[in-house]
Amino acid sequence: MRVVCCSNSSLAVTATLPSFPCLGPRFLPRIAIPISIPSSAIRFLPLRSTASPRQITTMASKNAQDQQDSRLESISSAIRVIPDFPKPGIMFQDITTLLLDTKAFKDTIDLFVERYRDKNISVVAGIEARGFIFGPPIALAIGAKFVPMRKPNKLPGEVISEEYSLEYGTDKMEMHVGAVQPGDRALIIDDLIATGGTLGAAIKLLERVGVHVVECACVIELPELKGRDRLGDKPLFVLVKGMA
Amino acid sequence: MCAYRDEDPRLHDLKTKIRVVPNFPKPGIMFQDITTLLLDPKAFKNTIDMFVERYKGKNISVVAGIEARGFIFGSPIALAIGAKFVPMRKPKKLPGKVISQEYILEYGRDCLELHVGAVEHGERALVVDDLIATGGTLCAAMDLLERVGAEVVECACVIELPELKGRERLNGKPLYVLVECFECCQ
pLDDT of A23-75, one tens digit each?
A: 333 334 465 554 443 333 222 332 333 333 333 345 656 777 887 789 999 99
Among A23-32, A90-99, B57-66, B82-91, name the one with the lowest average pLDDT. A23-32
Is the pLDDT confidence value at B4 over 60? no
Instruction: State the smallest CA–CA distance between residue B167 and chain A in angstroms.
Output: 25
Beta strands in chain B (DSSP E): 2-4, 19-22, 30-33, 62-66, 84-88, 98-104, 109-115, 124-132, 151-160, 175-181
Interface probe, candidates A132, A138, A142, chain B, greatest B C-beta count within 10 A: A132
Asked if B113 contacts B90 with a C-beta cutoff of 8 angstroms, the reply is yes
* CB-based burial, A95-123: b 16+ in 10 Å, e otherwise: bbbbbbbbebbbbbbebbeebbeeeebbb
Catalytic residues of B: 69, 106
Residue of B nearest to A105 (CA): B79
Evaluate if residue A18 carries a pLDDT over 80. no
Chain B hits for A153, Cβ within 8 Å: 25
**A51 — contact with chain B (CB < 8 Å)?**
no
In a domain, B117, yes or no: yes
* pLDDT tens sequence across A150-186: 999 999 999 999 999 887 789 999 999 999 999 999 9
Q: For residue A218, give the nearest of A244, A196, A233, A238 by alpha carbon.
A: A238
Whole-structure pTM value = 0.86
Share of chain B above pLDDT 90, in %: 87
Asked if residues B50 and B74 have their Cβ atoms less than 8 Å apart, the reply is no
Query: In the annotation, is A114 catalytic?
Result: no
Q: With contact defined as beta carbons under 8 Å apart, do A199 and A127 qualify?
A: yes
ipTM of the prediction greater than 0.90, yes or no = yes
Distance between CA A5 and CA A180 in Å, rounded? 41
Is B92 inside any structural domain?
yes
Residue B51: inside a domain: no
Count of domains observed in chain B: 1
Report the pLDDT averaged over residues B77-101: 97
pLDDT of A30 reads 62
Residue of A nearest to B89 (CA): A129
B33 domain-assigned: no
* H helix runs in chain A, sequence order: 59-78, 96-99, 102-116, 131-142, 197-208
The reply to whether B37 falls in a domain is no
Helix (H/G/I), strand (E/B), else coil: B50: helix
Domain presence at residue B112: yes
Domain of residue B132, CATH code: 3.40.50.2020
Answer yes or no: is B97 within a domain: yes
Choose among A106, A144, A179: nearest Cβ to B35: A179
The percent of residues in chain A predicted with pLDDT above 70, rounded, is 74
Q: Which of B8, B7, B9, B11 is nearest to B159 (CA)?
A: B11
Which of B118, B114, B61 lies closest to B90, judged by CA? B114
Cβ neighbours of residue A237 under 8 Å, at least 6 residues apart? A49, A50, A115, A215, A216, A217, A218
Residue B58 forms beta bridges with which residues?
A: none
Question: Number of CB pairs < 8 Å for A and B?
Answer: 107
Q: Would residue B146 count as lying in a domain?
A: yes
Catalytic residue among A2, A30, A71, A130: A130
- Domain assignment of residue B147, given as a range: 58-180
Q: Inspect the interface and report whether the beta carbons of B83 and A102 lie closer than 8 Å.
A: yes
State how far residue A235 is from chain B, nearest Cα, in angstroms.
24
Q: What is the pLDDT of residue A142?
A: 98
- The reply to whether residue A92 touches residue B95, judged by beta carbons under 8 angstroms, is yes
